[in-house]
Structure 1
Amino acid sequence: MASVLLDRAFAHFITSGRLEVHYPGGDRRVYTGRPGPRAGMWIADRATARALLLDPALKVGEAYMAGTLLPVDCTLYDLLHVLMLNVMERSPAGERFFSTMRYMARKWLQNNTLRRARRNVAHHYDLDSRLYRLFLDEDMQYSCGYFPTGNETLEQAQSAKKHHLAAKLHLVHPGMSVLDVGCGWGGMALTLARDYGARVTGITLSVEQLHIARQRAREAGLEGRIRFELLDYRAVVHQYDRIISIGMFEHVGVAHYGLFFDAMRRALKPAGVMVLHSIGRVEGPGVTNPWIDRYIFPGGYSPAVSEAVGAVERAGLWMTDCEIWRLHYARTIAHWRSRFAARRELIARMYDARFCRMFEFYLVVSELAFRVQGHLNFQLQLTREIDAVPLARDYMMGHSPVAAAHREGAASPFYEAAVLRA
């Protein structure tokens, strides 16, 4: 009965591309819509068919991890491309029901108190750091790279991202204090201290990231200008000239946006500048995919830009600039997927085959979310005062003295002082 109902569901669901499904017992069905991507899928048993019928957003990933749902004559990317493209056009009834329930409960699901936030961060970011070294760039940037021409390597794109964000911080002289909220393994903090002469405090809730970041600061000889702390954003007590936050806002939770921006306003000096870089969504407020929430980023949520901007307004901050990146993260994750695949055997020895299938599924779903499901990155520049940044945004587009010195290959970590005095 489950296979019969699933057959009817697919016949209604597939409106783009072609999907061939091999059902338990050997039956095969082909579903076609408008010209589009093609894929095949094998379902091992009736229990898997029932699960897919009831809650596909959760169960497709779980079945792939368990090996009871597999691509046929195609890659996992091909299969999920067909499924995710069609979800955008006509969601299955079961998914619509559970999505509504999840939306109604999202403030509870994302109630990231300090205790829950620490547990959620540890779930993903306290994995063995060797895993991340195997597929990230050399600087261990675990966020969207910047591809201004589209031909950059991963290392070039991540470096471009850091300097693009640094330009938006408008670091007008060496020695400015910077708070890095959600500092990861320390790459941005190291760049700001080494290349811009900033004094950086990086905060994280990940013990593993803290250890690596401190080690990197020691090895770079930057301990005098960088301090890393195991600290929640709600516990920040000092004020800073600048605040940067990259890929952390997705872990705040919609119920805490007001608290977050109030804390950032208090931590920002009156003439200070903050830059927030986050994943977002184009279609307005929504919910986190339940598989991603359970297995990858518990408590996480990529907000609509409108949700973030509303909280900014209520906190009494100026939004002095907003930039949208569309396919940059898709390109970034494509690099990660390729590197992960090339080192899959090593990763399987570190963990197991099920973990590899889970991580592969996560990377593919994430890339396709940007390609076919309206995900994006947004960057907000925020200030407390109306005149905290120049009238025109030329300074963040490669026309500032600091950016000019970068193009000329200045090597001194304090070259800004000489440039600005000139």
Structure 2
Amino acid sequence: MKRLLDQILRHFISSGRLHVTWPEGDKTVYIGRNTGPEAGMVLRDSAAERSLALNPGLAFGEGYMNGSIAPVGCTLYQLLDLLMLNAMSPGHLPEQIAAGFRFACRSWIQFNPIQRSRQNVAHHYDLDSRLYELFLDKDRQYSCAYFRTGQETLDEAQSAKKHHIASKLLLNRPGLEVLDIGCGWGGMALTLARDYGAIVTGITLSEEQLSVARQRARDEGLEGRVRFEMLDYRNLQRRFDRIVSVGMFEHVGVRHYQQFFDIIKKSLVQDGVALVHSIGRMDGPGTTNPWINKYIFPGGYSPALSEVFAATEKSGLWVTDCEILRLHYAKTIAIWRERFAANRAKAVALYDERFARMFEFYLDAAELSFRVQGHMNFQIQLSPAIEAVPLTRDYMAEAENAAAL
């Protein structure tokens, strides 16, 4: 299997240099035709060789988690930077075949009926809440922050993100009823109630997040303006003036997009406004990395805009605004990585070494997906009515600037 992997790597590395130390101790350097980063790794057993040759998208992360693959002379981030950059170039036939198979099966992989959605959410979001305190901001915003200058702290950028989104909801009078789909630990809902006078209903499928969000509402004395429920968006039975969804659309699944936007329309008043914030991809429809699907976000997928707009067009909703945030999430995750590294011993104490390796691999790969693999964030504003929002975007800037004062 070493011979096969050697041939694969010779074709795979088209940029930069990769130093490989084999289980027997011998070394090979793979030099790309183009300039690029340099990194090294050691393969500690033949099982690592075999799995890398046959299913690298899954095997590399698993090998790092169990210690059979490790960076040499570089950090994990530097090694992933080299590998993920080269993965964007064609040339790895086994992975191309595997990716083609995943694409053919993605409708099933992303089939997320209500019960499966609850299981998928529990897999990641019902982890011990103390884990997220190790790297998130004080408001526990687990989504892309918004860097107006690039010099903000994480707390400042996450606060700016909430107000940036609020400006697009056209909260032009107090008492508007707002639905927050996938409310997380409640930060967005609490902000809209506290700072904008909205009456907010937050829904989630995470028991852990629901408990924390309800406690936060009690602690802030906002129980009369905010309530949190364990509810799937498909079970909504009433209308709202505004709907917001941040970092939840990635868990919907392609075959459910039409239903999602149909429900958005059904759940809005005629002149209502919705804002959906999600990770996306700039290079067309694709698949979720198998390691991410297995260990981090089962059933998850970051869509191409062509897939999103195909569904909004059929729903009868107007897309009244769309914004692309390119490197904001890369900057966000870079800070998360830093914080997690500083608190790594606490993560090991909460779980174990293998879990800590899994989580740092996830954060490193997530940041690099935005830097070298075409991921981005999009925010789309939607309404059933053509005249629901003003003719220009000036009202957004005005509301955002007022919130910053």
TM-score by length of 2: 0.99
Q: Which residue of 2 aligns with 1:165?
A: 165
Quickly say closer, same or farther: Cα 1:254–1:91, change in 2 above 3 A.
Answer: farther
Q: Which residue of 2 aligns with 1:59?
A: 59
Q: Which stretches of structure 1, 4 residues or longer, exceed 2 Å deviation after superposition?
A: 403-408
Question: What is the rounded CA distance, in whole Å, between the counterparts of 2:145 and 2:91 in structure 1?
Answer: 31
Q: Which residue of 1 aligns with 2:378?
A: 378
Cα offset, 1:91, TM superposition: 4.5
RMSD: 0.8
Q: Is 1:345 aligned to residue 342 of structure 2?
A: no
Question: What is the rounded CA distance, in whole Å, between the counterparts of 1:47 and 1:172 in structure 2?
Answer: 61
Cα offset, 1:406, TM superposition: 2.5
Unaligned runs of 5+ in 1: 409-422
Give the secondary structure class of the aligned counterpart of 1:89.
Answer: coil
Deviations 1:125-163 (A, max 9, x none): 000000001110000000000012111111111001000
Question: What is the rounded CA distance, in whole Å, between the counterparts of 1:234 and 1:294 in structure 2?
Answer: 25
Question: What is the rounded CA distance, in whole Å, between the counterparts of 1:183 and 1:406 in structure 2?
Answer: 21
Cα offset, 1:35, TM superposition: 1.7
Query: What is the aligned residue count?
Result: 404
Question: What is the rounded CA distance, in whole Å, between the counterparts of 1:407 and 1:35 in structure 2?
Answer: 43
**Pairing of 1:45-194 with structure 2 (within 5 A):** 45-194=45-194
Question: Which moved further from structure 2: 8-17 or 159-168?
Answer: 8-17
Cα offset, 1:281, TM superposition: 0.3
Question: What is the rounded CA distance, in whole Å, between the counterparts of 1:49 and 1:374 in structure 2?
Answer: 28
Question: What is the rounded CA distance, in whole Å, between the counterparts of 1:38 and 1:45 in structure 2?
Answer: 23
Q: Is 1:313 aligned to residue 313 of structure 2?
A: yes
Question: What is the rounded CA distance, in whole Å, between the counterparts of 1:301 and 1:261 in structure 2?
Answer: 16
Give the secondary structure class of the aligned counterpart of 2:377.
Answer: strand
Deviations 1:215-255 (A, max 9, x none): 00000000000010000000011100000000000000001
Aligned residue among 401, 406, 410 for 2:403: 406
Give the secondary structure class of the aligned counterpart of 2:381.
Answer: strand
Q: Which residue of 1 aligns with 2:223?
A: 223
Q: Which residue of 1 aligns with 2:11?
A: 12
Deviations 1:364-414 (A, max 9, x none): 1100000000000000000000000000101112x24xx454243xxxxxx
Question: What is the rounded CA distance, in whole Å, between the counterparts of 1:4 and 1:309 in structure 2?
Answer: 46
Q: Is 1:388 aligned to residue 363 of structure 2?
A: no
Question: What is the rounded CA distance, in whole Å, between the counterparts of 1:286 and 1:333 in structure 2?
Answer: 22
Give the secondary structure class of the aligned counterpart of 2:175.
Answer: coil
Q: Is 1:240 aligned to residue 240 of structure 2?
A: yes
Deviations 1:268-326 (A, max 9, x none): 11010000000000010000000000000000000001111110111100000000000
Question: Which moved further from structure 2: 371-380 or 90-99?
Answer: 90-99
Question: What is the rounded CA distance, in whole Å, between the counterparts of 1:91 and 1:52 in structure 2?
Answer: 15
TM-score by length of 1: 0.95
Question: What is the rounded CA distance, in whole Å, between the counterparts of 1:48 and 1:36 in structure 2?
Answer: 25
Q: Which residue of 2 aligns with 1:412?
A: none
Q: Which residue of 2 aligns with 1:420?
A: none
Give the secondary structure class of the aligned counterpart of 2:173.
Answer: coil
User: Identical aligned pairs, as a percentage?
Assistant: 62
Quickly say closer, same or farther: Cα 1:373–1:230, change in 2 above 3 A.
Answer: same
Aligned AA (2:403): H
Cα offset, 1:56, TM superposition: 0.3
Cα offset, 1:110, TM superposition: 0.6
Unaligned runs of 5+ in 2: none
